[in-house]
Amino acid sequence: MAPTTGPDTDGATIFHNPKCSTSRKALDRLRESGVEPTIVKYLDTPPTRAELVTLIADAGIEVTGAVRRREPLFAELGLADASDDELLDAMVAHPRLIERPFVVTARGTRLARPLDRLDEIL
């Protein structure tokens, strides 16, 4: 996982897809709160399986809540009845299946969907 500390990062990291409006809004909300996070463009630099497991666990969600079920690739790969391990393997192999944005701050980790979940860790 990318470092979560450094100059002006406030120890925060966002796993970001700049093409996603929710991800852009989450980044804006972080900045409006005075937080300049480390930005991980996870489609270019995907998390490892272990990192993904940690993000999901730390966010307090199930693996099924971290996968983009409406992504056409989800159906193409026949993942509707997949186990958690199969879903994790698919998300690592195809990072566009990872729901976004995951945000990590000193106060915790959240999948910022809905966006208000971000308030819990700011």
Q: Which is nearest to 11 in space by CA: 106, 109, 102?
A: 106
Q: Confirm whether 20 is a catalytic residue.
A: yes
Residues 34-67 as b or e (16 or more Cβ within 10 Å = b) = ebebbbbebbeebbeeebbbebbeebebebeebb
| 52: helix, strand or coil | helix
From the list 20, 77, 82, 122, the catalytic residue is 20
Catalytic residue list: 20
